[in-house]
Amino acid sequence: MITILDQLPENILDVDATELYKFVDNHTLVHLAGQIKRPLFISILQHGDEATGWDAIKILIKQNINKLPRSLYILFGNVQAAKENLRQLEHQPDFNRCWPGIHKQHNDVAMKMSQITEFMANQNPFASVDIHNNTGRNPHYAGINSLKSEFINLASLFSDTIIHFTSPDGIQSGAFAKFCPSVTIECGMSGTADGIEQTLTFLENLIHQSTLESVPGFVEHRQVLNIFSTVKVKPDISIAIAGKETSPVNFVINNDLDYHNFHLLEVGTVFGQLDDESTEMPFIVTDQIGHDITDHYFEKRGKNICTKQKVVPAMITQSIRAIRLDCLCYLMHPAIQY
Ligand SMILES: [Zn+2]
């Protein structure tokens, strides 16, 4: 069964994400009643080291205490991992791959996510917001799984940089997209002041917003980029970031590669160097349905691994742990204006 509280535990607003485990369990839902009954759903800390959601919610609630304009449901994700400041604990799956999707999953986390989804579908939410951070340098952007106008309007309240994606499977915003406008927001690196500020402004805006059929803003600024593939490093290839090698590895990834995020890269842009010309291609690039399209996008030039097409990368990370757990980056097609 899922735990649903009708108020926040006392003094919880005074603690950082690392202390939340003392107040709530993983997957706790908190309902806070507001003037407009139809709730806004907010998901935080699905990844335990991404604290911006909690940092922004604390301020939002303090500023609106006892006079919330709209009811909220807040879902606390992985507070156990947050205690250790980790994305997830060793024995845990990635929470944001366990939501109801195309592939049925049977682990305990997936069962919870499925119950939460069913419960929330019955609450008829106004919108759903899932708050994340990146480990690399990225602009703050919003991700949507549908190009319906309410989704684009919701995303544009957060940022003019919007990406559309349909994989990976099992993400929260994908599951909720079936019954309400849903967005994943990526608020830069965890804990940075500008990310918290932008998230707070967005949530403030949303709890006052009466409709998503039209929203204020400049339509001509809205550009939606389309994610079409994922770049992973093969598990048997040893890797390091240039300048941070502690022992010889197969593939050294360029330092500051994350500066390329959201920029159109020319053909021949170097991502890193192999230890030897005979070492195999270190990447596997897959499209949205899992086909291997590596040869179309990357090639070896001597020891260098270079792009073969013009592409826009997103979410390039310089964290070896994140590369191993998730991926090196995503590739996107240039923007379409909406
Ligand atoms: Zn995340």
CATH number assigned to the domain comprising residue 135: 3.40.630.10
Between the CA of 210 and the centroid of ligand 1 the distance, in Å, is 28
Beta strands, E only, 198-328:
223-233, 239-241, 251-253, 270-274, 283-287, 298-301, 304-307, 312-314
Note whether 188 and 256 are same-domain residues. Answer: no
Pick from 204, 221, 238: which residue ends a domain?
Answer: 221
Dihedral sign computed on CA atoms, order 280, 282, 288, 289: positive
| Shared-domain flag, residues 233 and 217 | no
Closest CA to 8 of 32, 26, 25: 32
Token digits for 11?
């003094």
Q: Are residues 68 and 212 in the same domain?
A: yes
Q: Give the pLDDT confidence score for residue 104 in this predicted structure.
A: 86
d(CA 132, ligand 1 centre) in Å: 4
242, two tokens: 């240039």
Between the CA of 87 and the centroid of ligand 1 the distance, in Å, is 8
Tell how far the Cα of 133 is from the centroid of ligand 1, in angstroms.
6
**298 and 211 within one domain:** no
Q: Is the domain of 217 the same as that of 252?
A: no
Please tell me the distance from the alpha carbon of residue 120 to that of residue 319, in angstroms, as a whole number. 34
For position 219, what pLDDT does the model report? 64
Ligand 1 centre and the CA of 77: distance in Å?
A: 11
User: Are residues 202 and 96 located together in one domain of the fold?
Assistant: yes
Centre of ligand 1 to C-alpha 195, Å, is: 14
Whole-number pLDDT of residue 204: 97
3-state secondary structure of 40: strand
DSSP for 247-276, please give it. S--SEEEPTTGGGGTTSPBPTT-EEEEESS
Q: What does the buried/exposed string (b/e) look like for 69-99 if buried means 16 or more CB atoms within 10 Å of the residue's CB? A: ebbbbbbbbbbbbbbeebbbeeebebbbbbb
| Same-domain status, 192 and 235 | no
d(CA 285, CA 230): 6
* CA–centroid distance, residue 47 to ligand 1 (Å): 5
Q: How far is the CA of 248 from the centre of ligand 1 (A)?
A: 30
Q: Which residues of the chain have pLDDT under 50?
A: none
Distance 208 CA to ligand 1 centre (A): 26
pLDDT value at position 137? 80
Tell me: do 260 and 140 sit in the same domain: no
Query: Last residue of some domain: 221, 253, 286?
Result: 221
Whole-number Å distance between alpha carbons of 77 and 43: 7
Distance CA 123, CA 283 (A): 43
Residue 330: enclosing H or E segment and its boundaries?
strand 329-337
Q: What is the pLDDT of residues 175-215, one digit of tens each?
A: 999 999 999 999 999 989 999 999 999 999 999 999 999 88
Residue showing tokens 């917003």: 209
Residues 6+ apart with CB under 8 A from 292: 284, 285, 286
Q: Are 249 and 154 in a shared domain?
A: no
Beta-carbon count within 10 A of 216 CB? 9
- What pLDDT digit, counting tens, does each position of 38-78 carry? 999 999 999 999 999 999 999 999 999 889 999 999 999 99
Kindly state whether residues 261 and 327 are assigned to the same domain.
yes
Distance 50 CA to ligand 1 centre (A): 6
Check whether residue 73 and residue 121 sit in a common domain.
yes
Identify the domain containing residue 305 by its residue range: 228-337
Strands 251-253 and 239-241: parallel
Spacing, Cα 98 to ligand 1 middle (Å)? 13
- 330 CA from centroid of ligand 1 (Å): 14
**CA 212 / ligand 1 centre spacing (Å):** 25
Q: Which of the listed residues 161, 193, 221 is the one where a domain comes to its end?
A: 221
303 and 159 co-located in one domain: no
Helices 193-208 + 52-63 axis angle, to 10: 50
Spatial separation of the C-alpha atoms in residues 74 and 129, rounded to whole Å: 10
In 10 A of CB 321, how many CB atoms? 12
Distance 278 CA to ligand 1 centre (A): 36
Q: What is the whole-number distance in angstroms between the Cα of residue 79 and the centre of ligand 1?
A: 13
Q: How many domains does the chain have?
A: 2
CA of 179 to the centre of ligand 1 (A): 22
